């Protein structure tokens, strides 16, 4: 009987099987190609079967390929010089990394065309578990020196990595990369306060300059190297945070450093003012717009509260006294209406004062945030007081006929109060914490 010929399996079919996790097709590929199966390039970028399997993420196939691949072939690279461990690091596949390193520990030391180690790729993408694992199994001079050379942990705010490095290799914190930047510099440039605090606790401030004669205060004067400003309810906290950074670093440098000039002949303060002109303009626009809207709302509340005060519920008797003056709920109405009137007027005054502010650099730190905070607190209190006064009025008029009417009144009153408080309270608390909380290095 003539043997049935099996058609050779195509590489595209193998690629799809690895991505989809079809083990039967993979087994057929391994039988047909034998040792060359581990060397075949399945994509235009030069990926091997193992790299594609890691991309697919199917553990049973990855396990099989790693166990069958000869140790030396695990170090095969694609067109960008990435190994299978680079692929696992980029995709945060810790189990695949464990399998690879158990068989070939030297994979930790292979760099790609961008001189990137697997641990660096994991750090750049913010994969904390993968970065911590690779560091724990790869405490070698080449690894930690390259890691600090590029300072990926400091750039991406991975404080665990910086802590580990400082614990095992404290001297490495002071190492510089090709741009003469240390971890101190990267923490400032990327505005990672936790990283800066970690390295500053056990190390003195770095007083060195980069290739453009910028000291660390110059770097604090520049805008962040990545978008780290959108952390608050509006531009007011963005400018405030930048000022806080600049002032905290200014406390740590000498007077000569704060007045020194860089390659372009600019002092740190000059750089700060030039770099933050646009942000200051946006802040002024945001604050004045918010002040206008809140002033209108507070004015309406003041108008209603004043009208309610001169036309009390139930009217007056022949002696000119309010008919319900003997009721306890009338006292609640009177107090809450007065609070609504006073707090709304105070709110208007606070927000009007924003229009007369001179908008100096130092005003962005405390003056403007203070006025916004006090104005919003008064506005919230005026809304709450007005709702209480309104509820008291309805209760005074209808309670004698049906006391149970208080239940729906209270329920309906809570709706606008809770809704408005829920919207305004979180950003208000952030502003309070940012303005009155501990400094950047004390958090």
Q: Bigger pLDDT: 147 or 294?
A: 294
Answer whether residue 304 shows pLDDT above 60. yes
Residues 301 and 262 in one domain: no
> Is 90 exceeded by the pLDDT of residue 441?
no
Determine contact, residues 176/208, Cβ cutoff 8 Å: yes
Is 52 contained in some domain? Answer: yes
The answer to whether residue 47 scores a pLDDT higher than 70 is yes
Domain tally, the chain: 3
Asked if 351 and 291 count as a contact pair (C-beta separation under 8 A), the reply is yes
163 within some domain: no
Q: Which two tokens stand for residue 61?
A: 């196939």
Listed range (93-97, 233-237, 276-280) with the worst mean pLDDT: 233-237
- Look at 412 and 351; give whichever has higher pLDDT: 351
Say if 148 falls within a structural domain.
no
Same domain, 133 and 4: yes
Confidence of residue 127 (pLDDT cuts 50, 70, 90): confident
Per-residue model confidence (pLDDT) at position 4:
40
| Same-domain check for residues 207 and 329 | no
Least reliable range by pLDDT among 50-64, 230-244, 427-441: 230-244
Lowest-confidence segment of 46-55, 315-324, 352-361 by average pLDDT: 315-324
Domain identity same for 5 and 114: yes
Q: Which of 95, 115, 138 is the last residue of a domain?
A: 138
Does 282 map to a domain?
no
| Mean pLDDT over the full length of the chain | 81
Is 158 part of any domain? no
Asked, for residue 221, whether it belongs to a domain, the answer is yes
Radius of gyration of the chain (CA): 33
pLDDT of residue 423: 85
Q: pLDDT-based confidence at 9, cuts 50/70/90?
A: confident
301 in the same domain as 248: no
Distance CA 387, CA 337 (A): 9
User: Are 249 and 310 contained in the same domain?
Assistant: no
* Same-domain pairing of 271 and 308: no
Q: What is the mean pLDDT of residues 224-243?
A: 69
Interatomic CA distance for residues 184 and 173, integer angstroms: 8
* CATH number for position 104: 1.25.40.20
The tens digit of pLDDT for each residue in 67-88 reads 998 888 888 999 989 999 999 9
pLDDT for position 1: 39
416-436 mean pLDDT: 85
Whether the predicted pLDDT of 227 surpasses 60: no
Give a yes or no: residue 74 inside a domain: yes
Tokens of 124: 């750049």
Least confident residue range of 39-43, 148-152, 197-201, 368-372: 148-152
Q: How far is CA 96 from CA 278, 392, 419, in A?
A: 47, 67, 48
Cα diameter, the chain: 123
Residue 442 lies in a domain: no
Work out the average pLDDT over 107-126.
83
pLDDT at 210 over 70: yes
How far apart CA 375 and CA 292 sit, in angstroms, is: 12
Q: How confident is the model at residue 205 (pLDDT cuts 50, 70, 90)?
A: confident
Residues in the chain: 443
Residues near 394 by Cβ (< 8 Å), separated by ≥ 6?
405, 409
Output the CA torsion sign for 118, 147, 215, 199. Answer: positive
Give per-residue pLDDT as tens, 133-191. 887 776 544 444 544 444 555 555 556 566 666 665 565 566 676 777 877 888 888 88
Of 138, 156, 180, which one is at a domain's C-terminal end?
138
Taking a C-beta distance cutoff of 8 angstroms, is the pair 180, 210 a contact? yes
- Residue 293 pLDDT > 60, yes or no? yes
Predicted local distance difference test score (pLDDT) of residue 105:
86
What is the Cα–Cα distance from 316 to 325, expressed in whole angstroms? 9
pLDDT for 200 beyond 80: no
Residue 7 to residue 378: CA distance in whole angstroms:
80
- pLDDT value at residue 21: 87
User: How far is Cα 84 from Cα 103, in angstroms, rounded to an integer?
Assistant: 12
Same domain, 424 and 312: yes
| Model confidence pLDDT, tens digit, residues 10-39 | 788 888 888 998 888 888 888 888 888 888
Are 116 and 191 within one domain?
no
**Which of 130-134, 162-166, 191-195, 244-248: highest mean pLDDT?**
244-248
| pLDDT at position 274 | 92
If asked whether residues 227 and 325 sit together in one domain, one would say: no
Cβ-contact 114, 146 below 8 angstroms = no
Mean pLDDT over residues 259-266, rounded? 93
User: What sign for the dihedral angle of Cα 7, 12, 15, 17?
Assistant: negative
Task: Look at residues 90, 76, 19, 9 and name the one whose alpha carbon lies nearest to residue 46.
Answer: 76
Domain region containing 56:
1-138
- Highest mean predicted confidence (pLDDT) among 98-102, 310-314, 394-398, 399-403: 98-102
> What's residue 203's pLDDT?
64
Percent of the chain whose predicted confidence (pLDDT) is above 70: 81
Q: Are 198 and 237 in contact (CB under 8 A)?
A: no
pLDDT for residue 141: 44
Residue 5 confidence (pLDDT): 42
Output the pLDDT for position 267: 95
In the chain, pLDDT over 90 holds for what percent of residues?
Answer: 27
Burial 66-91 (b: 16+ CB within 10 A, else e): beebeeebbebbbeeebbbbbbbbbb
Residues 62 and 97 in one domain: yes
Instruction: Check residue 317 and give its pLDDT.
Output: 54
Q: Pick the residue with more confidence: 201 or 165?
A: 201
């Amino acid at each position: 009987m003539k043997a049935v010929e099996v058609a050779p399996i195509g590489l595209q079919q193998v690629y799809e099987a690895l991505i989809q996790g079809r083990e039967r097709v993979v087994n057929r590929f391994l039988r047909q190609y034998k040792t060359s199966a581990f060397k075949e390039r399945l994509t235009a970028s030069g990926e091997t079967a193992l790299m594609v399997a890691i991309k697919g993420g199917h553990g049973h196939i990855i396990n099989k390929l790693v166990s069958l691949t000869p140790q030396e072939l695990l170090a095969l690279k694609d067109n960008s010089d990435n190994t299978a461990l680079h692929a696992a690091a980029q995709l945060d596949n810790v189990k695949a990394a464990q399998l690879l390193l158990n068989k070939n520990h030297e994979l930790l030391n292979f760099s790609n065309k961008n001189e990137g180690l697997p641990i660096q790729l994991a750090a750049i993408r913010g994969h904390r578990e993968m970065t911590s694992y690779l560091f724990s199994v790869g405490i070698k001079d080449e690894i930690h020196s390259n890691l600090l050379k590029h300072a990926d942990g400091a750039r991406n705010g991975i404080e665990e990595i910086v802590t580990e490095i400082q614990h095992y290799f404290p001297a490495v914190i002071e190492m510089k990369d090709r741009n003469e930047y240390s971890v101190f510099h990267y923490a400032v440039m990327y505005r990672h306060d936790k990283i800066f605090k970690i390295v500053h606790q056990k190390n003195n401030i770095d007083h060195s300059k980069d290739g453009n004669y910028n000291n660390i205060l110059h770097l604090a004067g520049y805008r962040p190297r990545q978008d780290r400003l959108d952390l608050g309810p509006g531009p007011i906290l963005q400018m405030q945070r930048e000022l806080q950074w600049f002032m905290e670093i200014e406390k740590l440098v000498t007077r000569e450093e704060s007045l020194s000039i860089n390659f372009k002949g600019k002092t740190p303060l000059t750089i700060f003012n030039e770099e933050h002109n646009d942000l200051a303009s946006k802040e002024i626009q945001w604050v004045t717009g918010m002040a206008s809207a809140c002033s209108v709302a507070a004015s309406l509340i003041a108008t209603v509260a004043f009208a309610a005060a001169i036309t009390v519920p139930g009217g007056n008797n022949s002696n000119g006294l309010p008919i319900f003056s003997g009721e306890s709920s009338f006292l609640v109405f009177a107090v809450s209406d007065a609070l609504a009137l006073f707090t709304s007027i105070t709110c208007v005054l606070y927000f009007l004062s924003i229009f007369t502010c001179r908008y100096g650099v130092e005003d962005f730190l405390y003056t403007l945030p203070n006025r916004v905070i006090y104005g919003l607190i008064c506005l919230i209190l005026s809304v709450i007081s007005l709702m209480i006064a309104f509820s008291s009025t309805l209760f005074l008029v209808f309670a004698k006929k049906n006391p149970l009417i208080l239940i729906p009144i209270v329920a309906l009153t809570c709706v606008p109060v809770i809704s408005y408080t829920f919207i305004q309270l979180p950003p208000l608390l952030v502003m309070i914490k940012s303005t009155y909380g501990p400094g950047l290095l004390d958090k």
